[in-house]
Amino acid sequence: MNQVPHILQFICSTGFYGAERWILALCKNTSPSSAKHSLAVTLEENSQDLELVKHFKAECGETVELEMKNRFDLRVIDKLVTYIKQNNVDIIHTHGYKSDILGVMAAKKAKIPVVVTPHGFENAADFKLRMFIWLGCQAMRFADSVVPLSPQLLEDVKKYGVSPQNLVYIQNGVDLSEVEKVREAPKKLTKTKKRIGFIGQMISRKNIKDILDIFNHLCVTRQDIELVLLGDGDERIQLEKYAQSLPSKQDIHFLGYRDDRLDYLRSFDLFVMTSTLEGIPRCLMEACAMGTPVAAYDIPGIDQLVMHQSTGLLAKLGDKETLSGYWEALLDEPGLAMQYGNKAIEYVNEHYAAKRMADEYLALFNKLIKH
């Protein structure tokens, strides 16, 4: 074994979203004297110049990019094995369906432990994608440890036959230092209207169409609001097309991926989510840490951060009318919005600090290596 454990983080990344930022939070909050983290990513058609690679190199350690000739190139397994052996990797830690499949196979071939962290499950309509997700979930059964990000994900994982002795729950965490720095600095962005905002992937389970519908409904009676959406994903083009069909289109702004997302988050008068399925969303953690008031649908994962009438407001899934009312309450009652925002800051700092999460993962890695 190395003087300190060498952990290889492996992800088939296509952007810079929750899972990518989570990896950075874990690695940045692990002392170099306690563990060495490196990063492996697949180099694919849609993963050029990854932000994750740039940040990891600057803040965490070395990276390796593994070229894939197609969407599922099994030759990556041998490339991983070669890296593992040449660099004395003790554990591979995987994130996402594709990386779980490839990473588990590489770990078995290299004879090292593998840890799988499910970040959330996709309710995909496409049959091929559903099969791919199913295969990823089957791969978890062969991991040494499976560490879901939320209690609901823990229950979901059990359905795929993962042995209870291999299931570990570690409370999710987020690197709050970046958020705190922006929260305490002078504001950088100006606005002329009250700003409702969303940050995240534009994929089916985020259910962003409900956000557009609720906003459009409010615009019938008020002209003092705008909607700002940050992020990218498979559904962005379709959502932009739908937004252009709405009377409120001039006040709906799709900004894509932004380096200054936290400055935008601070400028939001309200952070909204209408997801149908979640783990514990990093974007929601950041909203809570920023003190931005939150209104969302009440689903597992969301309810780990937003307690109704304490750290935000929650409506029943699909109840757009009630959620619309909550949006207005938080927009028009600044005292109430500030109360919920301050409570959210306290809660996320107490329960979701990345340093605590990193320490618990380090204990798990050491246990697996010594086993």
Q: What is the pLDDT of residues 102-121, one digit of tens each?
A: 999 999 999 999 999 998 77
Residues 169, 185, single domain; the answer is no
Torsion-angle region of 256 (φ positive above 0: left; ψ -120 to 50: alpha; else: beta): left
CA 182 to chain centre: 20
Residues 145, 42, single domain; the answer is yes
Residues 184, 160, single domain; the answer is no
Q: Is 1 a domain residue?
A: no
Residue bearing the bigger pLDDT, 14 or 190: 190
Instruction: Report pLDDT digits (tens) over 280-306.
Output: 888 999 999 999 999 999 999 999 999
Residue bearing the bigger pLDDT, 104 or 122: 104
Q: Is the pTM value of this prediction over 0.85? A: no
Residue 326 has pLDDT above 90, yes or no: yes
Q: Is 235 a domain residue?
A: yes
Tokens of 51: 């932000």
How many residues would you count in the chain? Answer: 371
Residues 359, 285, single domain; the answer is no
Residue 50 pLDDT:
86
d(CA 316, CA 302): 12
Q: What CATH number does residue 299 fall under? A: 3.40.50.2000
Q: Domain residues for 89?
A: 6-173+353-370
Q: Is 56 a domain residue?
A: yes
Give the confidence band of 124 by pLDDT, cuts at 50, 70, 90. low
Residues 282, 152, single domain; the answer is no
Angle at 57 between CA 185 and CA 147, to 5 degrees: 85
Residue-averaged pLDDT of the chain: 93
Give the confidence band of 175 by pLDDT, cuts at 50, 70, 90. confident
Residues 28, 150, single domain; the answer is yes
Taking the chain, what is the end-to-end CA distance rounded to the nearest angstrom?
12
Instruction: Report pLDDT digits (tens) over 236-276.
Output: 999 999 999 999 999 999 999 998 999 999 999 999 999 99
Residues 333, 364, single domain; the answer is no
d(CA 184, CA 139): 43
Residues 265, 133, single domain; the answer is no
Asked if 157 and 57 touch (Cβ cutoff 8 Å), the reply is: no
Q: Is 147 a domain residue?
A: yes
Q: How many domains does the chain have?
A: 2
